[in-house]
């Protein structure tokens, strides 16, 4: 050795194999005998050799990188507990692997398709996609690029994509039924964005439950899954329907905004208006009163999605059917 970091040639000499055999053994073991593989593995351990990623990628056609695609602005990613839960779930899922995580976010004013083009250019081996919108063009781009991918949340219409989700329709039903069981009969909702499957599905569950009870479903205002957006939507909702005695906000952040508006108008919660949230990712425990909400197991969903993607990359059989978690009610004081 020359005193610098150990090289592939050093490993080959130490293992008493050719340089090409050492390279194949380090980069996947193809066409390498068990004896040569063991000799190379021992030489790597003794010398402390670390393969050059760029050189390795030329051999394996792999980047050892996974993209976490969150087509939202960075300001939202840093403040939204759902998105921080997604990041934690992916990092937990990659623990103990050599994969690097590439975080892809939206940029202000960018034209649609930038992220899709990046994913189709060979920079990563696979992708986890979360908080996607219909306009993002990601499903078509991933299918065209044949890039292994798993969605956290139901994708729009393309049955080829694997996904992990909570049953958002059932969650919307659960929230609406809790308000009905409390005795509410004029129930409105601040729904999520209707270009996102979670917003669509939670609204559907709420509407189905009220329809079955013979109650009106006209009190609907669209929010954006943020506290500020929930507050603005609640103002519009209560201006249009001042007789509401129950409100389902399709995320806890939006429910926090709803509570602020009700407080400012002198409406007591839950005595005058009962409020339901959705997520249970930390916000519900800090509101006044403490939110009654629906559990959304985001971290578990995302670690499951990451495990599925790692299985795809390893060539393991991964079921194509979606994995959907059942929501549960989390009792608080607001409903």
Name the residue with higher pLDDT: 14 or 136.
14
Look at residue 300 in the predicted model and tell me its pLDDT.
96
Per-residue pLDDT reduced to its tens digit, 138-155: 888 888 878 899 999 999
Q: Taking 80 as the threshold, does the pLDDT of residue 268 lie above it?
A: yes
Domains of the chain and any CATH numbers? 8-60 (1.10.260.40), 65-166+299-325 (3.40.50.2300), 168-295 (3.40.50.2300)
Smallest CA-to-CA distance from 33 within 49, 13, 51, 18 is with 18
Per-residue pLDDT reduced to its tens digit, 280-307: 999 999 999 999 999 999 999 999 999 9
Q: Output the pTM of the full model.
A: 0.81
Per-residue pLDDT reduced to its tens digit, 178-235: 999 999 999 999 999 999 999 999 999 999 999 999 999 999 999 999 999 999 999 9
């Amino acid at each position: 050795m020359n005193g610098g970091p150990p090289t592939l040639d050093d490993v080959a000499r130490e293992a008493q194999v050719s340089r090409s055999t050492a390279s194949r053994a380090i980069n996947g073991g193809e066409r390498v005998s068990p004896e040569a593989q063991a000799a190379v593995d021992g030489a790597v351990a003794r010398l402390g050799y670390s393969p050059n990623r760029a050189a390795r990628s030329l051999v394996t056609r792999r980047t050892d990188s996974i993209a976490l695609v969150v087509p939202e602005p960075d300001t939202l990613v840093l403040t939204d507990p759902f998105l921080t839960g997604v990041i934690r779930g992916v990092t937990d899922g990659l623990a103990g692997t050599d994969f690097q995580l590439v975080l892809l976010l939206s940029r202000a004013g960018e034209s649609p398709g930038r992220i899709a083009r990046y994913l189709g250019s060979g920079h990563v081996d696979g992708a986890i996609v979360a908080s996607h919108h219909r306009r993002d063009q990601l499903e078509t781009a991933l299918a065209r690029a044949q890039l292994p991918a798993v969605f956290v949340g139901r994708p729009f219409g393309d049955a080829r994509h694997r996904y992990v989700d909570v049953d958002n329709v059932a969650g919307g039903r659960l929230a609406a039924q809790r308000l009905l069981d409390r005795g509410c009969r004029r129930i409105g909702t601040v729904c999520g964005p209707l270009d996102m499957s979670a917003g669509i599905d939670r609204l559907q569950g709420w509407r189905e439950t009220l329809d079955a009870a013979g109650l009106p479903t006209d009190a609907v205002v669209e929010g954006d899954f943020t506290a500020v957006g929930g507050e603005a939507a609640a103002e519009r909702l209560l201006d249009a329907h001042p007789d509401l005695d129950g409100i389902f906000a399709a995320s806890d952040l939006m429910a926090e905004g709803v509570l602020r508006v009700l407080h400012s108008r002198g409406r007591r919660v839950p005595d005058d208006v009962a409020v339901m949230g959705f997520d249970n990712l930390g916000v519900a425990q800090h509101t006044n009163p403490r939110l009654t909400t629906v559990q959304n197991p985001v971290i578990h969903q995302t670690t499951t999605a990451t495990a599925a993607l790692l299985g795809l990359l390893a060539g393991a059989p991964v079921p194509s059917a979606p994995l959907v978690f059942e929501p549960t009610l989390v009792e608080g004081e607001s409903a």
